[in-house]
Structure 1
Amino acid sequence: MRHAVGMILLSSVILTGATLPKKGPVPVAKPATLGGQPTPMPRPPSKPAKARDGDEGLANDASKAESPPGKGEDLPQKDDALPPPPGSAAPAEVIVPVKTESAEEYASCLAALRKIGSRFTEAARIDDGSGCGIDKPIEVETILPGVALSPGGRMRCRTALALATWTKEAAAPAARTAFGPDTRITALNQASTYVCRHRNGASTGKISEHAHGNAVDIASFELADGKTIVIQPRDEDGTLTGAFQRAVTASACLYFTTVLDPGSDEAHEMHLHLDVIERENGYRYCR
């Protein structure tokens, strides 16, 4: 029966001179009706919402998937995992105990620090709980002869030695080149050394490198002529002051494993974050 109806329709098309349509989109069937009203089509399944980026303060730890392993202090991080189901417990915070330092490496570092001309005092072991502390801390007063750390601060010897070496070999020569051969740096004004806190002052997340004695934040440089070079956004600063800041920032990555400057994020607009966190394969993060 269907074959006969089809033949009749085809004959009708040929007799009337009509042509069959060329290849094209298949006509969409009209929606079925129910009681004279169109029957609603089913909605397509919605895609699951993507989790919002996490924020540990800028930069948070860089050991997450989107960043190289062990990326250091205060780096921004994302967490693309969907939030846990309602009622499930949040993952427990990982507490890293205070690391015991090698007595031989510590003694070698102290000798190098004395040789370069730093003034410091050895201090008692710090363990403030929650992973905060320094096994063998020192109180640094003077980075180099005639160059104070203002105010003095507690840190690991390794951090102090990196700071002193960078000041002597990179920052001091850059100041002479930028501002004249008689220019001397007389102080590094610091905004933070050892402090027990999470990264970028967040209420949760990983412990800051400051809490391990690995980090120091430099807010400004004092010069012998009374001039103060304040750390601030200077990427577009075409003056010698801008060139000096960019030079010391770039050179710092030769001495520290993390360098964050005002161009890295809002949390570092007014200081340089320098730390000596250890990473696999000697990786360094400089922004």
Structure 2
Amino acid sequence: MSLAVFVLSGATLPRTGPVPEDKPQAAEPAAPQTETPQAPAPIPQPKPEEPKEAEPKPESKPAPANPEAAKPDETAPAGTKPSDEKPDDAKPEAPKAETLEEQHLTIEPESDADHADCIKELQSLGVVFKEIPRIDDGNGCGIDKPIVLSEALPGIKVKPEATLRCPTARALAHWMKESVIPAAAVAAKDQGRITTINQASAYICRLRNSAETGKISEHARGNAIDVASFSFEKGDDIAVKPRREDSTLTGAFQRTVSASGCLYFSTVLDPESDAAHETHFHLDVLERMGGYRYCH
């Protein structure tokens, strides 16, 4: 039995011997790991080439400067014209400040069909007017198909009578019927109904703001009327004057009808606009591109 134990114990000794011999073999693959970091060394070399490619990118950045220049061009109908118009607009500013005689303007023709439709609408509203012959005062002043307006609506006189184009009288009638009269019924109900529109200017051959030079006035084309005040059955007139800080019903009335005027007229200038309009509403039906309206 002792001999057998000795033999078995002796057999186990050589088995542990080869185990340490295998471990040094595992250290050999460590050598290739040191070789792999040498491979990425050429990789950083192409990286300096990448910034060279990034250089054309800033060159593309000035390109957006062109769309910025295109923004003002959007206000003009054509893309090439605005660049030509900018210097032209700046320079002709001086020549545009011309007298009527120097501008060589003509009277704008009116469509027979449109005029007939407008006349029918005035009649349906009860407007009192009469048609008169064509007005031609030269230098672009005049009306192709003028009318003389006596009553803006039944029982509401226009004093003095106003010579206008039919579309101007039509806008005035709708403004009075749908805005001014209802507002007055609230703000001045104790004064009764409106009896008169006191106008300060209708057709007249002149430049804007009666200046000696500049653009022709819409009054010279029959497109405009200036309203100075409203008269009532009783009580005082409501005069058009600066009322921005007026906290009374009268102030509210004027601000209301001024704002609503832009629903009917393409231009509304009130006493808050400038010194030239401190005593009246300027109302006109000038047609602008895109239906643009100017109300202040």
TM score, norm. by length of structure 1:
0.68
Q: Aligned in 2, Cα 1:95/1:117: closer, same or farther, shift over 3 Å?
A: same
Tell me how far apart the structure 1 counterparts of residues 166 and 148 of structure 2 sit (CA, whole Å): 9
Tell me how far apart the structure 2 counterparts of residues 182 and 242 of structure 1 sit (CA, whole Å): 15
**What is the SS of the residue equivalent to 1:114?**
helix
Shift of 1:284: 0.2
1:138-157 aligned within 5 A: 138-157=147-166
Where relative contact order (Cα < 8 A, 6+ residues apart) is larger, the structure is: 1
Number of the residue aligned with 2:236: 227
Structure 1 counterpart of 2:148, one-letter code: E
Structure 2 counterpart of 1:151, one-letter code: P
Over aligned residue pairs, what C-alpha RMSD do you find? 2.3
Shift of 1:83: 9.0
Q: Is the 8 A contact 2:191 2:233 kept in 1?
A: no
Shift of 1:111: 0.4
Tell me how far apart the structure 2 counterparts of residues 98 and 113 of structure 1 sit (CA, whole Å): 23
1:204 aligns with 2:231: no
Shift of 1:263: 0.5
In structure 1, the gaps of 5 or more residues are 1-64, 70-78
Shift of 1:95: 3.1
Shift of 1:205: 1.1
1:117 aligns with 2:126: yes
Structure 2 counterpart of 1:145, one-letter code: P
Shift of 1:178: 1.1
Number of the residue aligned with 1:136: 145
Number of the residue aligned with 2:258: 249
**What is the SS of the residue equivalent to 2:104?**
coil
Q: Is the 8 A contact 2:204 2:220 kept in 1?
A: yes
Query: Which one of the candidate residues 156, 161, 179 is aligned to 2:188?
Result: 179
Query: Higher helix proportion, which one?
Result: 2
Structure 1 counterpart of 2:280, one-letter code: H
Query: Which one of the candidate residues 263, 271, 275 is aligned to 1:262?
Result: 271
Query: Which one of the candidate residues 171, 184, 201 is aligned to 1:192?
Result: 201
Question: Which whole-Å deviations, capped at 9, do the CAs of 1:244-281 have from their partners, x for residues lacking one?
Answer: 00000000000000000000000000000000000011
| Larger Rg over CA atoms | 2
1:216 aligns with 2:228: no
Tell me how far apart the structure 1 counterparts of residues 236 and 258 of structure 2 sit (CA, whole Å): 19
1:158 aligns with 2:167: yes
Question: Which whole-Å deviations, capped at 9, do the CAs of 1:102-127 have from their partners, x for residues lacking one?
Answer: 00000000000011011001001001
In structure 2, the gaps of 5 or more residues are 1-71, 77-88
Tell me how far apart the structure 1 counterparts of residues 91 and 138 of structure 2 sit (CA, whole Å): 30
Query: Higher strand proportion, which one?
Result: 1
Shift of 1:82: 10
Shift of 1:179: 1.8
Tell me how far apart the structure 2 counterparts of residues 220 and 212 of structure 1 sit (CA, whole Å): 23
**What is the SS of the residue equivalent to 1:218?**
strand
Question: Which whole-Å deviations, capped at 9, do the CAs of 1:30-66 have from their partners, x for residues lacking one?
Answer: xxxxxxxxxxxxxxxxxxxxxxxxxxxxxxxxxxx9x
Q: Is the 8 A contact 2:191 2:232 kept in 1?
A: no
Shift of 1:223: 1.0
Shift of 1:182: 7.5
Tell me how far apart the structure 1 counterparts of residues 190 and 239 of structure 2 sit (CA, whole Å): 20
Query: Which one of the candidate residues 237, 251, 265 is aligned to 2:246?
Result: 237
How many residues of Structure 1 are paired with residues of Structure 2 in the alignment?
208
Q: Is the 8 A contact 2:98 2:214 kept in 1?
A: no
Tell me how far apart the structure 2 counterparts of residues 135 and 153 of structure 1 sit (CA, whole Å): 16
Q: Aligned in 2, Cα 1:237/1:119: closer, same or farther, shift over 3 Å?
A: same
**What is the SS of the residue equivalent to 1:225?**
coil
Shift of 1:96: 2.8
Tell me how far apart the structure 1 counterparts of residues 216 and 98 of structure 2 sit (CA, whole Å): 15
**What is the SS of the residue equivalent to 1:113?**
helix
Tell me how far apart the structure 1 counterparts of residues 168 and 98 of structure 2 sit (CA, whole Å): 32
After the TM superposition, which parts of structure 1 deviate over 6 Å for at least 4 consecutive aligned residues? none
